[in-house]
Amino acid sequence: MGPPKPPYLLHQLTRDPGARLKLYCGACTWWRTYDAGKIAERLAAKNLLRPSTLIADVAKQVQWPCPACHRMRWATSPAERRNGEYVENPMARARGGR
């Protein structure tokens, strides 16, 4: 099975153990990756997880402003992989990321 195709369903991403979801600010492009399985668990605990939940729906649940620009223009995408490893943003922690 290859990578999921757009529009991405959250349950497609969680089939891959350790899969990561990229949350990024549409205003300043600050980003950070999160464990897709943990996101699904948190949404399920709030009764917000459905089989049709898109990863784009995750951005609508973010209740905190961007640590870099303090806006709330969140978007999501599957995290990038390079050489089999998920890419992390080194500036996420340096600029006050959660």
Which sequence spans correspond to the domains of the chain? 10-94
Can you list the positions of beta strands (E) in the chain? 20-25, 31-35, 74-78, 81-82, 85-86
Residue 3's H or E segment, with its range, is: none
**Residue 3: band (very low, low, confident or very high) from pLDDT cuts 50, 70, 90:** low
pLDDT, one tens digit per residue, over 33-81 is: 999 999 999 999 999 999 999 999 999 999 999 999 999 999 998 888 7
- Write down the pTM of the prediction: 0.78
Chain mean pLDDT for the chain: 84
Residue bearing tokens 């950070």? 32
- Give the residue-averaged pLDDT of 80-97: 66
What is the C-alpha separation between 12 and 29, in angstroms, rounded? 25
* pLDDT beyond 50 at 1: no
